[in-house]
Structure formats: C-alpha cells, structure tokens
Amino acid sequence: MRLELESLLALADERVLERGKTLFLRGAVLEAARSRNRLQARVQGSAPFPYRVEIDLNKGEWRCSCPYTWGPVCKHLVAVAFAALEAPEIFARKKLGRSTPVNLKPLLELSDDELLRFLWQLAEERPELMEEFAYNLMQRYE
C-alpha cells in the first residue's frame, strides 16, 4: 500500500504531532537519507543515543527504535516526516553511514542495582533487543 507522508502525520495524535514538530525544528533529525521511497534517519530524543527511524512509502511501513507503543506513530517518525516535507534537502544521501558508536558512559555511572534494573526494564520493553544482545554475546565465545 502506497503511503503519503501526510497520511502518516494524520495518524499521530495532537500531542505527538506537536512534539515531533518541535523535535524537527530543534534540529533533532541528525542524519537522513532517502532512496526513492525509502526514508531513513536518526533522531535525537531524550535518550543518550539517537533513535533509528525508517519509513517505506511504497510498502506503507514504518518503524522507530524507540519504546513508544501508545499509538501507531511516535514523535520521532513525525519529526522525520516533517523534515522530509519541509526540508527535503537534508535527505540528499542515499544511504545512512554505519551507526555512530553509542556513548555508554552514562551507563557506567549507574550502580550495579540501577544497571540491573535498567536491563530488566529493557528486556521487558524490547525483548527483540535483548535477544540480539544475547546472540551477539554468544557469537563472541564461539
């Protein structure tokens, strides 16, 4: 199903729309690439690392790596849609470069208890991430 950015924006509730627009205006859309109808970007939200956003207009699919699940469209997707509509020039590249290394320093400052609690929460919210993590860890010992 072909998707228009305007219809994607129409799916967001008013507050999400407002926040996404603010993110875009603040320059939170850090890296953006467009290849035909596939948009990719990294968006700096409140987390210490940017979220990855992908919108496929041909397939009518989109996703964001943030944990937002309260509606079909999060503020990061809104920010990218706004960017694509209002500043298409930032999507000049065809592909995103390799992921910039994540800054893990804030994690090192946590106590063991806090870190464990953080990981449990992450495991509950993002089981696929923990699977990936465990998989990568196992690869190192093979």
Q: Is the Cβ of residue 33 or residue 66 nearer to Zn ion in the bound state? A: 66
Closest contact distance (angstroms) between CB of 134 and Zn ion is 24
The arrangement of strands across the sheet holding 61-64 comes to 29-35, 38-43, 51-56, 61-64
Q: Is the Cβ of residue 28 or residue 57 nearer to Zn ion in the bound state? A: 28
Alpha helices in 26-66 (DSSP H): none
Amino acid at 6: E
**How many residues would you count in the chain?**
142
Residue 56's DSSP bridge partners are 38, 61
Closest contact distance (angstroms) between CB of 62 and Zn ion is 10
Closest contact distance (angstroms) between CB of 19 and Zn ion is 10
Closest contact distance (angstroms) between CB of 27 and Zn ion is 17
Give residues in contact with Zn ion (CB under 5 A).
64, 66, 74, 76
Specify whether the CB–CB gap between 121 and 130 falls below 8 A.
Answer: no
Q: Is the Cβ of residue 14 or residue 112 nearer to Zn ion in the bound state? A: 14
Q: Is the Cβ of residue 54 or residue 90 nearer to Zn ion in the bound state? A: 54
